[in-house]
Amino acid sequence: MEMDLVAHCGEVNRGSYVHSLVLTDIASGWTEAAPIVVREGTLVVETLERIRAGLPFALRALDVDNGSEFVNNKLIEYCLGHGIELTRSRPYRKNDQAWIEQKNGAVVRKLLGYRRFEGLAAARAITRLYGASRLFVNFFQPSFKRVRTIRAA
């Protein structure tokens, strides 16, 4: 799975605001998201553990960007302890994580837009929204374009 954070800072990228931790399976397109009140490594690991517990398959590998919330001892120890392979993309190469970047727009931004969200009340509301939309996103929003098959007569 690829993992990323989406900032919900509105037009002002300072102060404290909610982020969405987003994971996308590159084989199936399955996507999970959860809010984090503060961008911090320990909260990333705690939120990852909650997401992992609800996945319909085993989490075998994670690919992350080079942010300090991902490249830290907490996440490395968590992955080692749970048999999860951890890789990171090359610096300044957005295309290395094309699957998650697509889902950031198609799922997170479609649901929440670009507004600023702050505090625990906002995070709780976002948690409920993600919970309510989880099955719809994964079962009824195709990740892959279907190819029309022509049968020979």
- DSSP assignment, residue 68? T
Q: Strand pairing of 61-64 and 31-36?
A: unpaired
Instruction: Give the number of domains in the chain.
Output: 1
82 vs 71, higher pLDDT: 82
- Residue 97 pLDDT: 81
Q: What SS3 class is residue 27?
A: coil
Look at residue 152 and tell me if it is in a domain: no
- Residue 141: pLDDT band by 50, 70, 90 thresholds? confident
| CATH number where 40 lies | 3.30.420.10
The model's pLDDT over 33-67, given as tens digits with 9 standing for 90+, comes to 999 999 999 999 999 999 999 999 999 999 998 88
When the pLDDT of each residue in the chain is averaged and rounded to a whole number, the result is: 90
The model's pLDDT over 106-130, given as tens digits with 9 standing for 90+, comes to 999 999 999 999 999 999 999 999 9
Contact predicate 24/30, CB 8 Å: yes
Look at residue 58 and tell me if it is in a domain: yes
- Residue 131 pLDDT: 95
Q: Kindly tell me the burial class for residue 103, based on how many C-beta atoms sit within 10 Å of its own C-beta (0-12, 13-18, 19 or more).
A: buried
Its domain, for residue 125, covers: 2-140
Tokens of 135: 């099955």
